[in-house]
Structure 1
Amino acid sequence: MTALVPSREDVTGSTGGGPARRLTLPASAAIVVAVLAGAGVLSLLVGARAVPLGAVWDTAHPLHAIVQVRLERTVLGFAVGAALGLAGALMQGLTRNPLADPGILGVNAGATFAMVVGMTTLGLTSMGQFLPMAFLGAAVATIVVHAIAALGRDGATPMKLAITGAALTAGLASWTTGLLLADRKTMESFRFWQVGTIGGRGFDVLVTGLPFLVVGVLLALAGARLLNTLALGEDLARGLGRRTTRDRLVIALAIVLLAGTATALAGPIAFVGLVVPHVVRSLVGPDHTRVLPFSMLAGASLVVAADTVGRVVLPPAEIQVGVMAAVVGVPVFLALIRRTGRAL
């Protein structure tokens, strides 16, 4: 994998002659926490059936049962969004590639394909059985994308990684569809999960994946300073005493745990890991000790907000969160492709 030399814009956060003006850390934290809380409250109250605020804590209220269902959905959305936002920040920091995202670089597609293989050929039925398959698929996809993109004189440039990831994602999607068409029973249980959704899942599903998410988060946050050191360049990082190969493996393991678990819990939700780190860096700068925790909070907010909007766009039907995330993410992705193409 070839690291890119940071551009002036990467270092200063501005295309002008000086550093970009950013909010203070407490102000940025207050904004992100307020958005997170607002997204959570709206997720409980808004939907095909509006719920008054009093029904949230009044167990005797006739609409309290709806709040209970939405609470499970909201908590799962927070967990999945935090995992995807954090995984995206890790991938962009590790590869120094502004286009990196678990959905774009084939990680989610690899996890999905492995889960379908397990369902159709091994008869797997429970979340505890799905998770190891999701991890395996995510890890293999990550290795394949970077190995193919690294071929050639220039190595794994951002554009080559994006193109390779898109090609692998398309291929895996075709193979996944082929397996599902051959097994109608699996297809029926898989089709809603395939578009990315956090609806219809209880706390039991989250509890199964929670230990893996916790380990992934701990590894990621512990690797914040590693990413800062790697950003200085491979040679300088080694000169500072870092074992860069080991450091990269630790970060890669965190990515696989976070993206693999999030995909197993909610399906393949793309673009969250792409959009969130860019927004966060505009608030707090490039320091990964700030980018990573803020990406968790912002990712959680984005997924829950997208899910809430999806409930009210076409009532009484719902648009799944994977579709709503793509509505936000695709324009950002195209803008980044254009910007990155000019920079290369």
Structure 2
Amino acid sequence: MAAVTNDAPGAASGTAGTLSGTAGGVPGTGGGPAPEWAAEQDVREDDAAALVGGQFPDLRGAPVRLLATGWDNTVHLVGERWAFRFPRRAVALPGVEREIATLPVLAERLPLALPVPVRVGRPSEAYPWPFWGAELIPGEELAEAELSADGRMRAAAGLGAFLRALHDPELAAEAGGGLPVDPMRRADPGVRAAMARERLGRLVRRGAWTPDPAVDRLLADGEKAGPPPGPAVVSHGDLHLRHLLVGPDGRATGVIDWGDLCRADPAVDLSLAYAGFDGDARTALLSAYGRPVNAGRELAARVLAVCLCAVLADYAESTGRTRLLAASLSGLRRAVGD
């Protein structure tokens, strides 16, 4: 089963029942600057039990276990049914508000499951930010799944059909009016190429990545290009290897972690076509997508694929997530391949 977050399961730590922030250093390293994913509010299991039980009496006393931690959210599973998502950093709060407002609308129109905020918690003295719970979506992150070739074909085709529906201009007109337009400039290959080089440089210095001439050439092309023209569509905004859920046979079951929901060029979501799939599976995805992907859009998608995989690899290597690191490095290679 998978949570509504973007990072792998982690272990709870510290004194139960105490909300705490992380400041001043990297946890467990004895000092140094805090990493960019360090929590400002760390909701532990007992904290989650108290917050959920206090606002949702029918869940009072239900078992709570930590399901996942990520850059922006901690997720606890309550009663083996409800995945509650607690922001870890203030920067995530606008995305939380967009999820609460927009995901119920999108869920009615899209062919894969989304985490729908059915239970919305209010800020309080115990926890200053809104939080929300959705029914757990079955499946495993693509980054963690060990799929056969046929399974990857099924996952790719399912994702392609999902993106076709998500990028429907009618959906943008109906549900996208209040969404920001590519606020992180993910469709701009010049911006993303520079960011990718910086992340890859970190990995090289730590011995986790050997420079690849094909990646260098792609980023050089991206640095000379502008963002693809065209109307903005509703976009997940951060669709990478951790956000597509699949079943044991590879069938796509859901798409999670919509904190970067926005309007953007289709290239932003199509980056997963290049980071997550290659060969016949990628062909199946683009066929199911059924919308034109011109050279400029493909370049932007490939550059973003490299950037996202480099960020994931940096995070995975820094936090000891070996499977995510392997998947991210494989994604780098796929992003420049056929």
Task: Indicate the TM-score class for this superposition, using the shorter chain for normalisation.
Answer: under 0.3
More strand by share: 2
TM-score (norm 2): 0.24
TM-score (norm 1): 0.24
| Larger RCO: 1 or 2 (CA < 8 Å, sep 6+) | 1
More helix by share: 1
